[in-house]
Amino acid sequence: MPVGNLAAQQAKLRRAVGHQADTALISDDLLTDCLEDALNAVNRQWPLLAFGSFVTVADQQVYSVLPAGAYVVREAYWPQICGDQSWWIGGLQPEIEGLLGDTDELGFTYATGPALEASYFRYQTYLRKWFQGSSRILKPGTVYLMPTPATAGTTVYFLYSTARYAAVADVADAHEQPYWAYAQFQLHNVLSTGRGALQEVTSPLGVKVRTGAGLRHREAADRWRAEYRGYLPLLRNSRNSP
């Protein structure tokens, strides 16, 4: 993998901020935190999409279905025909089909009652649109079926997002650049405060040295954050969010 294992990444990140041998100011734990933050950022911006399913329970409308470790349910598919429209959707079909007439040798069927046939299919489409089951998702992972299922055992499928990479060593070259940009942003952001932001040093002889380290780290953090944002998709919406 281009990013290397955890130890290699820690060493590279130290070198990137100019503290190759400084394990006091920049500890392994701090580097691990920055790398894991970068991993989480990449996973949420470029998640994997997966399908899951659950079965209905009679008279139960609400289902918590998000798998462990996944981010959010995006869509649910609830195709159940609700209510009794059999009198129109199915009950008249044999009679309507009887108006189609014969099929010729070229495969064309000529309706003997085209107006009634067209009316039937038009209203069949209308009823399926307005009376077919639907769902509402309360993020991250609760699905409301509408109307409440009357019977048990109907399969409902849903689309959800989950992490692309399980560990920092798994990041592939396709996401290496935004991953490193975010890791460096995080580290410079931390170093812009605390001991990393040392402004002035006074020697025992009274000699003072001003460093401006905090400002330099702040500027570097802003640059790396801007670079990371440059890798993000131009268009995002609620369906594409994690």
Residue 1 half-sphere exposure toward CB, CA atoms < 13 A: 16
Report pLDDT digits (tens) over 127-155.
656 555 677 888 889 999 888 888 888 88
pLDDT at 23: 67
Q: Specify if 239 maps to a domain.
A: no
User: Do 56 and 127 share a structural domain?
Assistant: yes
Report pLDDT digits (tens) over 191-236.
887 665 555 555 566 555 556 666 788 888 899 999 999 998 775 5
Judged against a pLDDT cut of 90, whether residue 168 lies above it is answered with yes
At residue 115, the 3 state secondary structure works out as helix
Q: Which domain holds residue 119?
A: 49-65+75-162
pLDDT at 43: 94
- Stretch 54-83: mean pLDDT: 84
Cα 217 from Cα 232, distance rounded (Å): 23
User: Do 53 and 153 share a structural domain?
Assistant: yes
Higher pLDDT, 137 or 102: 137
User: Do 211 and 153 share a structural domain?
Assistant: no
Residue 81 near residue 89, CB atoms below 8 Å = yes
Q: Specify if 146 maps to a domain.
A: yes
Q: Specify if 187 maps to a domain.
A: yes
pLDDT at 142: 93
User: Do 57 and 22 share a structural domain?
Assistant: no
pLDDT at 3: 75
Listed in sequence order, the residues at least 6 apart from 109 whose beta carbon sits closer than 8 Å to its beta carbon are 100, 101, 102, 103
- Stretch 76-96: mean pLDDT: 55
Which tokens is 144 given?
């409301």
Q: Specify if 130 maps to a domain.
A: yes
User: Do 129 and 98 share a structural domain?
Assistant: yes
Q: Specify if 43 maps to a domain.
A: yes
Cα 191 from Cα 26, distance rounded (Å): 9
Listed in sequence order, the residues at least 6 apart from 23 whose beta carbon sits closer than 8 Å to its beta carbon are none
Residue 127 half-sphere exposure toward CB, CA atoms < 13 A: 16
Report pLDDT digits (tens) over 116-127.
656 666 666 666
Nearest to 8 by CA among 198, 180, 205: 180
User: Do 33 and 21 share a structural domain?
Assistant: yes
Which tokens is 14 given?
């130290």
User: Do 79 and 24 share a structural domain?
Assistant: no
Residue 81 near residue 132, CB atoms below 8 Å = yes
Q: Specify if 237 maps to a domain.
A: no
Q: Specify if 180 maps to a domain.
A: yes
